[in-house]
Structure 1
Amino acid sequence: MLNSPNRRVCAVIILALVSVIVGLVAGIGWVLLGGEQLAALKVGASALAGCFAICLSAVVFVHTQGN
């Protein structure tokens, strides 16, 4: 079994990967909808940061409820 610090590291790594995927999908979707490339970069970066922040907050909340 994984001990507590390893689970937290795995959770952050998974969140980072999910956030990157969400950012890429948002940016590509913006381009497919006819947006400019620079705007797509901004949308993707915003989606990445927002997804990571929201998911990390949820993980912290769940971990504190478990204690």
Structure 2
Amino acid sequence: MSTTEDPSWFKSSYSGGEGDNCVEVAVQLEAVHVRDSKDTAIRPFTVSPGAWSAFTAYASNSRT
């Protein structure tokens, strides 16, 4: 990550309540980090804020 400050992670509101399919997101000014909450030792997937915004807009319009 490009800053020395640890990001604040939060669990997706769409993650399963049974401990399965849990995704955590950490939003920073320059990047959005996404990780599997069950294995936080794996390096997070990182995208630009613009890419994350486009993804979430697409995902919210694709729900059925």
TM-score (norm 2): 0.30
Task: Flag the structure with higher strand content.
Answer: 2
Task: Flag the structure with higher helix content.
Answer: 1
Higher relative contact order structure (alpha carbons within 8 Å, sequence separation ≥ 6): 1
**Larger-gyration structure (1/2):** 1
